[in-house]
Chain A
Amino acid sequence: MYPVSLDVNGKTVSAEVDARTSLLDLLRETLGMPGSKKGCDHGQCGACTVIVNGVRINSCLSLAVSHDGDAVTTVEGLADGESLSPLQKAFVSHDAFQCGYCTPGQLCSATALLDEIKRGEPSVVTDGKVTLNEEEIRERMSGNLCRCGAYNNIVDAILSVAGEPA
Chain B
Amino acid sequence: MKPFDYVRAGSAQEAVRAGAEGRFLGGGTNLVDLMKLEIERPDKLVDVSRLATEEIEDGDDGLLVGAGVSNSALAGHPLVRERYPLLSTALLSGATQQLRNKATVGGNFLQRTRCQYFYDVFRACNKREPGSGCDALDGINRFHAILGASEHCIAVHPSDMAVAMAALDATVETLKPDGSTRSIPARSLHRLPGDTPHIDHVLEAGELITHVVLPASPPKRQLYRKVRDRSSYAFAVVSIALALDLQDGRLANVSIALGGVAHKPWRAERAEGILEDSRPDAELFANAADAELAHAVGHGHNDFKIDLSRRLIVAALRDLSESKREIAA
Residues on A close to B: CB < 8 A?
A: 2, 18-20, 22, 41-43, 46, 49, 55-58, 61-63, 65-66, 68, 109, 112-113, 116, 120-124, 138-140, 142-143
Contacts and interface: CB of A to CB of B under 8 A. Distances in A.
B96 A142 contact: yes
Contacts of A20: 1, 3-4
A117 B102 CA distance: 18
B99 interface: yes
A72 to B, nearest CB: 13
Contact of A138 (B33, B101, B232): B232
A143 B99 contact: yes
B298 interface: no
B76 A121 contact: yes
A124 B27 CA distance: 21
B36 A41 contact: yes
Interface stretch (B86-94, B169-177, B258-266, B286-294): B86-94
A18 to B, nearest CB: 7
**Shortest beta-carbon contacts, A-B, top 3:** A143-B96, A142-B232, A124-B92
17 contacts: A19-B6, A19-B45, A58-B99, A63-B25, A66-B28, A66-B47, A66-B49, A109-B97, A121-B76, A122-B75, A122-B76, A123-B97, A142-B233, A143-B95, A143-B96, A143-B97, A143-B99
Chain A CB count within 10 A is highest, among B28, B33, B75, B96, for B96
A51 to B, nearest CB: 10
A62 B8 CA distance: 14
Nearest to A113: B97
B317 to A, nearest CB: 21
B180 interface: no
Given A121-B76, A122-B88, A124-B93, A56 B1 contact: no
A33 B97 CA distance: 24
Contacts of A138: 232
Contacts of A56: 97-98, 101
Nearest to B88: A122
Chain A CB count within 10 A is highest, among B45, B81, B89, B99, for B99
B25 A66 contact: yes
B4 A19 contact: yes
A34 to B, nearest CB: 20
Interface string B29-42: 10011001000000
B5 interface: yes
Interface residues of B, dominant DSSP = mixed
A61 B4 contact: no
B28 A62 contact: yes
Contact of A61 (B32, B49, B76): B32
A46 B45 contact: no
Given A63-B6, A63-B28, A143-B233, A42 B98 contact: no
A61 B101 contact: no
Contacts of A22: 32
Interface in B1-26: 1, 3-6, 8, 25
Interface string B67-94: 0001010011000010000001100110
A113 B101 CA distance: 12
A63 B96 contact: no
A63 B8 CA distance: 12
A143 B33 CA distance: 16
Contacts of B6: 2, 19, 63, 65-66
A62 B4 contact: no
A29 to B, nearest CB: 15
Contacts of B97: 56, 109, 112-113, 116, 123, 140, 143
A79 to B, nearest CB: 22
Contacts of B33: 42-43, 61
Contacts of A49: 98
Contacts of B102: 57-58, 61-62
Given A55-B72, A68-B8, A143-B95, 9 more contacts: A41-B36, A61-B27, A62-B32, A63-B32, A63-B45, A109-B97, A122-B81, A138-B232, A143-B233
Contacts of B1: 20
A33 B6 CA distance: 25
